[in-house]
Amino acid sequence: MDQAAATTLTERDERFAACLGKLEELKAVKARREVLEERVFLEFLRANRNRISEFPLLETEQQSLMDMLLRRAEGVHPGHDYLREQFSEYLIELNHYAKAKSLGNSAQQEELAGQLERVETILAKAMQGAIYATSLIKDNFSDAVIRHFGESSLVKIDEITATMVFDEQYWRAYLDRFIKEEVRGAYDSLLAERNYRLLREGQQLIFAVPFDAVLSKIKGTTKAISQTRVQSTFAAGAESEEGRQRVETALALFAKSDLPLWEKQIDRDDLPFAAQVAAMDVVASDYLTAAPGADEGILDVEAKRAYLAELIVALCVGAAVSLRMVREDFARALRDFSAKETTWLIQSAGTFDAAHLGGMLENLMELDFAYLLREKGEADAGRIQIKITRVRRASRAAIEALAEAGFNKIRRKQFFDDDAENEAYALFRSKTPAEFQELLQLFQIEPELARSLVGLWESASFKVDLFVCINLLALGKVVTNLSARVAEILGRYGVAPSGAAAPVRTRREA
């Protein structure tokens, strides 16, 4: 046996001994099965740390991984059954190996060690997929937060990572320490600058706030943020022909596997995401390049490819389960919002990739600002309504760049209105994709120009305005001094001191 093989054998035996020692220790004290599984699972993770890239060093992260995959995924993602089966098989093989070792049967021990190592490696690859996926999501979210809230965010991010288990509380900490703090600080600033309007419309008094005023107070950064090793490796799966081939192979193997993953609906983007995560691992390349060695035949290679395929599927399952659990935890952290709003935020987050997270954070700030306004009017909830208007917009620079393609001033007026409050943008006249398509057909827009306009529509940001609508008629039925009560309500919003006369203007005067 050469030195490398001897070293590998020693490392393997050390892993087995560590997990076996923990198993026997727990059996000796008659630990409950749940406790036994958790402790052995954690020992398995630590024993295999040298075989798992980006292994989580913090105990909170290791605990999070165990809890997410072994416990909380049950009944949430069908891939949990696969993970449980793999772990159960590992425990069975570990017991068989221990028995042969105790009997001193070296031949049988070595045979069982080979079986145990096979199961161990499959389980380790499932852990690898989960670790890659969760690391990627954390890195992407941290980058989005830094871009929106500035470099000073790093201190808070590091604190959250070091102290919070990666579950609902992790996301709640982000919401509290960034979204809520920043939105409330921005609200105080726009009040100080009187960057709002008071309008009278029939029997309603309207306190109107442009959301752009909130965003303008939140100082992000335009500096380039270096990618982590996980982010760059994941991106490589889409940037090269070889990378795309690995991803396509992983996707095909995952889709045709016999796993019971289709009993519950899998989100559309989950499978490509899981396949791209699996493509990060060397086994995806090994599968594509597997060829007969000096002492191997075709059947040996087919057996090797079948085993590599198992490892790729394990990577995919670990990634898919983790992504689903992150969504579930994130959704639970959004408990201040309605079910419809939560669904919208989850959808806008995509697979927690960079392309979606920037927009999702702005959506989150918008809804949190609406929540703040509802909270301030809670005492009169039946007589106060919060309304939000969202209009697609495009920058004037992007619109003017289409002039050479035939998008002249006359055509612009057919598709866009001026934004009186922000000269840098123009507002789409169409409210829905169907209305937009009708305009393209009505004015017979040339195919090339139409594609450019569709691109503007799909990438458009939104002009968002929030309105606190106070129903004066309903309010007058429950109070004797309407002016004083209106002033009190506005005082809660910081617009006028409690008890002061309410400054009311009509929409035309405003």
Asked if the structure places residue 195 within a domain, the reply is: yes
Give Cα separations from 189 to 32, 96, 313, 467, 495 (angstroms). Answer: 56, 68, 52, 18, 12
Please check whether residue 472 is in contact with residue 482, taking contact to mean a CB–CB distance below 8 angstroms. Answer: yes
Q: Are residues 297 and 366 in the same domain?
A: no
Exposure on the CB side of residue 258, measured as CA atoms within 13 A: 1
pLDDT for position 267: 67
- 298 and 400, same domain (yes or no): no
| Predicted confidence band of residue 500 (pLDDT cuts 50, 70, 90) | very low
Has residue 184 got a pLDDT over 70? Answer: yes
Verify that 128 and 140 share a domain, yes or no. Answer: yes
Among residues 333, 367, 387, the one where a domain terminates is: 333
Residue 256: predicted pLDDT? 85
Q: Identify whether 508 is part of a domain.
A: no
**Per-residue pLDDT at 77:** 82
Of 103, 123, 104, nearest in space to 115 by CA = 123
pLDDT-derived band at 73 (thresholds 50, 70, 90) equals confident
Say if residues 391 and 212 touch (Cβ distance below 8 Å): no
286 and 372 in a single domain? The answer is: no
d(CA 69, CA 87): 11
Residue 169 located in a structural domain: no
Residue 372 has pLDDT above 90, yes or no: yes
Is 391 in a helix, a strand, or coil?
strand
Q: What is the pLDDT of residue 7?
A: 55
- Of 333, 348, 374, the residue that ends a domain is 333
Regarding whether 285 and 405 lie in a shared domain, the answer is no
- Pair (231, 215) in one structural domain: no
Tell me if 32 is assigned to some domain: yes
- According to the model, what pLDDT value does residue 8 have? 61
Beta-carbon contacts of 174 under 8 Å, excluding residues fewer than 6 positions away, are 141, 145, 160, 333
Percent of the chain with pLDDT over 90: 71
How many C-beta atoms surround the C-beta of residue 408 within 10 A?
A: 10
Q: Where is the domain boundary, 333, 350, 370?
A: 333
Q: Is there a single domain that holds both residue 329 and residue 341?
A: no
Domains: count for the chain = 2
Does residue 306 sit in the same domain as residue 438? no
pLDDT higher than threshold 90 for residue 368: yes
Predicted structure pTM score:
0.87
458: left (phi over 0), alpha (psi -120 to 50) or beta: alpha
- Asked if residue 121 is part of any domain, the answer here is yes
Give the list of residues 6+ apart from residue 83 with CB closer than 8 angstroms, or none: 69, 70, 73, 126, 317, 318, 321
* pLDDT band at residue 435 using 50, 70 and 90 as cut-offs: very high
Q: How confident is the model at residue 421 (pLDDT cuts 50, 70, 90)?
A: confident
pLDDT category at 294 given cuts 50, 70, 90 is low
Tell me what the mean pLDDT of segment 443-468 comes to: 93
pLDDT, position 80: 86
Residue 85 lies in a domain: yes
Whether 460 and 373 map to the same domain: the answer is yes
Is pLDDT of 189 > 90?
A: yes
Question: Which range, of 298-307, 316-325, 483-492, averages the lowest pLDDT?
Answer: 298-307
Q: How confident is the model at residue 253 (pLDDT cuts 50, 70, 90)?
A: very high
Q: Which 3-state string (H, E, C) describes 201-267?
A: ECCEEEEEEEHHHHHHCCCCCCCCCCCCHHHHHHHHHHHCHHHHHHHHHHHHHHHCCCCCCCCCCCC
Q: Which two tokens stand for residue 311?
A: 């490892």
Average pLDDT (188-209) is 92
Contact 438, 426 (CB under 8 A): no
Cβ within 8 Å of residue 8, ≥6 positions away: none
pLDDT at position 501 = 39
Task: Share the mean pLDDT of the chain.
Answer: 89
**Residue 113: domain span:** 3-145+227-333
Average pLDDT over residues 161-178: 93
> What's the average model confidence in pLDDT over 431-459?
94
Query: 478's torsion region: left (phi>0), alpha (psi -120 to 50) or beta?
Result: alpha
Within-domain flag for 156: no
Residue 74's pLDDT is what? 84
Of the pLDDT bands very low, low, confident and very high (cuts 50, 70, 90), residue 504 is very low
- 49-65 pLDDT, tens per residue? 999 999 988 888 888 89
Note the pLDDT of residue 297.
60
**Whether pLDDT at 509 is above 50:** no
pLDDT category at 198 given cuts 50, 70, 90 is very high
Assess whether 427 and 290 both reside in one domain. Answer: no
- Judge whether 500 lies within some domain: no
Statement to judge: residues 306 and 383 lie in one domain: no
Residue 278 has a pLDDT of 97
Helix/strand/coil (H, E, C) string of 75-131?
A: CCCCHHHHHHHHHHHHHHHHHHHHHHHHHCCHHHHHHHHHHHHHHHHHHHHHHHHHH
What is the pLDDT, as a whole number, of residue 274? 95
Does 374 share its domain with 405?
yes
Contact 323, 133 (CB under 8 A): yes
- Of residues 426 and 297, which shows the higher confidence score? 426
Residue 228 has pLDDT above 80, yes or no: yes
